[in-house]
Each structure stands twice: as structure tokens, then as C-alpha cells.
Amino acid sequence: MPGGRPSSVPPTAASLRTPLRIMGVINVTPDSFSDGGKHLDPAAAVARGLALEAEGADVLDVGGESTRPGSEGVSESEELRRVLPVLDGLAGRTRAAISIDTAKTAVARAALDRGATIVNDVSAGRADEGLLPLVAERGATCVLMHMRGTPRTMQADPVYGDVVAEVQAFLGERAEAALASGVARDRIWIDPGIGFGKTAVHNLELLARLDELLALGFPICLGVSRKSFLSRVAEASGASPAPPEDRLGGTAAAIALGVRNGASILRVHDVAVMSQAARVARAIAERSVLRG
């Protein structure tokens, strides 16, 4: 692909020993790209979380602010209004770890107070300078994601010289910022930000060379579920456009390749199917390393 090399280095044995984790998505929003509005009611969101756990989710990722391309932000008070009843409703009813998908310190603090142990921040600690120190103080895990610009602007003609090298450099810098804030090294996950300020070609390049991010030494969280680039790739081969809920095949293929190239945390909407795809991909990868 332009700007890089095809991936040829298999994931290390150490990366394959990192446990697979399936992160189920709970969007408490009216405007998320895939399921906006379906779980805006707290009771529906709680029921969705329990269903995802029953399907095999290890983590439930609760978010009250859409980060789809072109989306506007919401106020702190509105985000809290959306997520707090869901967090309260899940408390004591699930064994899955709870993740809060937010870039706001106040929202993260309220979620951690209610039992969350993971803060999934699309800004990687840049939007609110208090977030990484809070994560450190609470001994929580943080997910640091690459995004160029903001959700409102990120898809406005993104250009890279080498997208993988630039994403790797950014994530390395943000991991160092987290460490400097006191976050424990084993509490840092990195996310290449598929679809966040990238074209379809950039997304494919990142997936093909995902193994290069393993050099940073942190578990890789991968979010490809139902994203529009999957439909664009299929359309380029003559398929009809597919709405988000009909992109399961493409999602499974991207997840399988991602796991083969070292991803160990998979953020998905369709837990049962994608858990199976991830675990088969891991089994294949382990066999190749053990015999390689």
C-alpha cells in the first residue's frame, strides 16, 4: 500500500499471551453512527449491557457522547445525565469490567465512583488535562486513542506521509504523558483510532501493519466494528452499499486480521460473533508462533 510496507512480521509470543478481551459497546446517545437512539433509555441500555455480557463481553464500554464523523460535542451535564443511570443500573448486576467512554475528567470521576475501572478516551488525555492524573490516582486503566483533529473535523481530507509511523509516534508520546502523570505501565492500552481522521486506505494500512505498534509495549485495543470503510472496501469490489448492521462479515474479517497482527482488546457491537472470530484468529496465530 502507498506510504508503507505490507506486514510480514508475526506477532510476538508475548503479545499472544496478552488475554483476549471483548469490549461490548453501549451507546447512550441519540446520534451514534450505528445504533444511535436504540439505548438512550437507561433501562434499554442496562438491558443491552447485560445481554452483551451474556454473549461473552469481558468489558462493557458505556458512552454518552457520540464521536462519529461530524458529530458535535455535548455538555458535561448532559453526558452525566445520560450515563449515570446506566452505570447505577449495571452496578452489582454484572461481572464484566465497566469502561467509561469519555474525554471529560468529571464524567470519568463519576463513573469511577460507580465502579468503572477503565477510561476510554478518544482524545488520549489531550481534551482535559485532569483526566490522566485522575486515572493514575484511582489506579484505573486508560485507553489512549489516536485521532487527528476532533470528531467534527477529523474527516476533512486527512493526509499522512506514513500513517502507521505517525500513529505509532503519537501513541508513544501519549503513553509517555500517561506514565508521567503516574499511570502504571500495565494500566495503559493503545488504540490506533480506525476511522478517526483516516481514509479507507489509511485504515487498511493500519490493519495490515498493526504489528508495528507492538513495539510500544502496550496492549492494542481495536475498534473496527460496523465502520463505514468496511462497506467502501466491499463496494470497490462491486458489492452494494451496506448499512452498519449489515457489515458483520467485514467486521469479522478486520478483527481476525487485527488479532493475527497483535490486537488483544476488541471493541464491538456484535459480541457473540466477533468473540468467535477473535478466538479462532488467536488460535491460528498461536499455532504459527509455536511452530514458527
Lowest mean pLDDT among 97-101, 121-125, 156-160, 242-246: 156-160
Domain ranges, ordered by start, for the chain: 18-291
Q: What is the average pLDDT across 134-158?
A: 86
Q: What is the average pLDDT across 120-128?
A: 97
Strand 21-27, strand 59-63: pairing: parallel
pLDDT band at 34 (very low <50, low <70, confident <90, very high): low
Looking at 3.30.70.2190, 3.20.20.20, 2.40.50.100, 1.10.3720.10, the CATH number of the domain 18-291 comes to 3.20.20.20
Res 32: pLDDT: 54
Res 18: pLDDT: 86
pLDDT band at 68 (very low <50, low <70, confident <90, very high): low
Element (H, E) at 177: helix 163-180
Lowest mean pLDDT among 35-44, 132-141, 218-227: 35-44
First to last CA, the chain: 26
Res 181: pLDDT: 98
Res 241: pLDDT: 87
User: How many whole angstroms separate alpha carbon 154 and alpha carbon 205?
Assistant: 18
More confident residue, 85 or 158: 85
Residue 71 has pLDDT above 70, yes or no: no
Beta strands in 134-262 (DSSP E): 141-145, 188-191, 220-222
User: How many whole angstroms separate alpha carbon 20 and alpha carbon 23?
Assistant: 10
What are the b/e assignments for 245-278, b being 16+ CB within 10 Å? eebbebbbbbbbbbbbbbbbbbbbbbbebbbebb
Cβ atoms of 224 and 251 closer than 8 Å: yes
Res 73: pLDDT: 77
pLDDT band at 117 (very low <50, low <70, confident <90, very high): very high
More confident residue, 152 or 24: 24
User: How many whole angstroms separate alpha carbon 283 and alpha carbon 288?
Assistant: 9
Res 157: pLDDT: 75
Positions annotated as catalytic residues are 227, 267
Burial class (CB in 10 A: 0-12, 13-18, 19+), 238: exposed
Cβ atoms of 115 and 91 closer than 8 Å: yes
Place of cell 467534527: 152
User: How many whole angstroms separate alpha carbon 62 and alpha carbon 107?
Assistant: 11
More confident residue, 288 or 155: 155
pLDDT band at 158 (very low <50, low <70, confident <90, very high): confident
Q: Over the chain, what is the mean pLDDT?
A: 89
- Residue 243 in grid coordinates: 448499512
Q: What is the average pLDDT across 32-52?
A: 80
pLDDT band at 5 (very low <50, low <70, confident <90, very high): very low
Helix axes 200-208, 163-180, angle to 10 degrees: 70
Element (H, E) at 60: strand 59-63
Res 149: pLDDT: 73
Res 9: pLDDT: 44
